[in-house]
Amino acid sequence: MRLLISGWFLQHPATGTGQYAWEILRHLPQARPSWTVGVAVPEGWAGPLPEGVEPVRIRLPRLPSDFQKLWFEQIALPGAAARWRAERLFVPYWAPPLRAPAPTIVTVHDLIPLRFPEYRATFAARLYTALVTAATPGAAHILTDSEASRRDLLQRFRLPPERVTAVPLGVSERFTPRPDPVGDARARNRYDLPPAYVLYLGGFDRRKNIETLLAVYTWAQDAIGENFPLVIAGRLPEGSSRLFVDPRPLARAWGIEAVVRTIGPVAEEDKPALYRGASAFLYPSRYEGFGLPVLEAMACGVPVVASEIPALVELVGDAAYLIPPEDARGMAGALIAVLVDSTLGQTLRERGLRRAAAFTWVACARRTAEILEGAGPV
């Protein structure tokens, strides 16, 4: 079979969608060695590709960045599929073309733009959301990351259940509890990490619930702040807005600046070391399609305190301490318990490692290949 995959997000490897696209590209040729796998990428992109994947380069017109992406997805990608004689077109994020020359399979990781109005506040965002929403029912099959997201999709689009499949993501082999003395020391020095800390690694958009993340330390700082400061990793926004929350002004206003450290963006190769060095991982998100950072933390043997939301309940089972996302006081109590009760902390480490071992990119690619094979015209 000739399979063409949209590679737009390979330009953004630090995003969850970029990681998903890369891992699927890496493992699909192994799952189906007889397939010819191509990936459509903008002409100027010169990044590496996994072995067995053929680049299909697309020249982009001079347009604003938002409209470049739209042109790539709706016009250039179907055209490339036709020229390349693709038998299946796979879009590993929520952007199916309205029309395509081959059955299209799309992965809808979550329905954030539909559930949260602030994500479609601009005209361009509303236009894009309306377009992909209209195109989605025309896909031959829809993949999503969790049963929680599958329920959202079935409710919103009223699709036949047999055309929507939850295929859990995997965790890279890089995320392991085994120490890497050189890499761990390099990361500790590069980010000036304290001897012990609680880690948050993720985004700063509103659904990530940065207010509760910081509010936890207004309750917990006297008990654990000095010994376990909160390290916040990720590219910080330039001030708070309707869509993003800058944690620094809140930390100052709430009197916890001394126990909160922001370290900015983290290189992909340093993430396992940051997890391994943490005494706990704190993740109070209000909504997730899956929760990849939680899985990465568990795979590194870090006890997790996170929000009790459907996708995370499904992901962690009994391997994390879950608290309702708006209950900062309850989350503070859970975090303190994990840090001071060595038996509880060790139990969560062991359960997390066992749970994370069940999520592999090999299994994700094999199940994805089965769906791609079976998907025919709508």
Residues 366 and 352 in one domain: no
- Amino acid (1-letter code) at residue 51: E
Residues 253 and 233 in one domain: yes
Residue 176 within a domain: no
* Mean pLDDT on 115-136: 83
In this structure, of 8-17, 118-127, 347-356, the range with the lowest mean pLDDT score is: 118-127
For 89, the domain range is 2-170+361-374
Residues 130 and 185 in one domain: no
Residues 155 and 192 in one domain: no
Average pLDDT score over the chain: 93
In this predicted structure, the answer to whether residue 16 has a pLDDT above a threshold of 90 is no
Higher pLDDT, 159 or 361: 361
Residues 142 and 229 in one domain: no
Residue 19 within a domain: yes
Residues 165 and 271 in one domain: no
Residues 201 and 149 in one domain: no
Q: What is the structure's pLDDT at 122?
A: 79
Residues 263 and 347 in one domain: yes
In this predicted structure, the answer to whether residue 13 has a pLDDT above a threshold of 60 is yes
The CATH code of the domain that includes 64 is 3.40.50.2000
* Mean pLDDT on 93-113: 93
Phi, psi of 6 (to 5 degrees): -70, 125
Query: What confidence category does residue 68 fall into, taking pLDDT thresholds of 50, 70 and 90?
Result: confident
Residue 85 within a domain: yes
Q: What is the structure's pLDDT at 148?
A: 95
In this predicted structure, the answer to whether residue 141 has a pLDDT above a threshold of 90 is yes
CB 298 within 8 A of CB 304: yes
Instruction: Name residues whose C-beta falls within 8 Å of residue 263's C-beta, 6 or more positions apart in sequence.
Output: 191, 192, 193, 231, 232, 233
Residue 175 within a domain: no
Number of H helices, E strands in the chain: 15, 13
In this predicted structure, the answer to whether residue 377 has a pLDDT above a threshold of 70 is no
Q: Are strands 88-91 and 53-58 parallel, antiparallel or unpaired?
A: unpaired
Q: What is the structure's pLDDT at 378?
A: 52
In this structure, of 43-52, 343-352, 364-373, the range with the lowest mean pLDDT score is: 43-52
Q: What is the structure's pLDDT at 158?
A: 85
In this predicted structure, the answer to whether residue 128 has a pLDDT above a threshold of 70 is yes
Percent of the chain with pLDDT over 70: 99
Residue 212 within a domain: yes
Residues 42 and 138 in one domain: yes
Instruction: Name residues whose C-beta falls within 8 Å of residue 320's C-beta, 6 or more positions apart in sequence.
Output: 294, 298, 303, 304, 305, 306, 312, 348, 351, 352
Residues 120 and 188 in one domain: no
Residues 57 and 94 in one domain: yes
- The number of domains in the chain is 2
Residue 55 within a domain: yes
CB 38 within 8 A of CB 84: yes
Residue 89 within a domain: yes
Residues 152 and 46 in one domain: yes
Residue 59 within a domain: yes
Q: What is the pLDDT of residues 204-227, one digit of tens each?
A: 999 999 999 999 999 999 999 999
Phi, psi of 4 (to 5 degrees): -110, 130
Higher pLDDT, 117 or 31: 31
Considering the entire predicted model, what is its pTM?
0.93
Residue closest to 87 by CA, chosen among 171, 8, 3, 20? 3
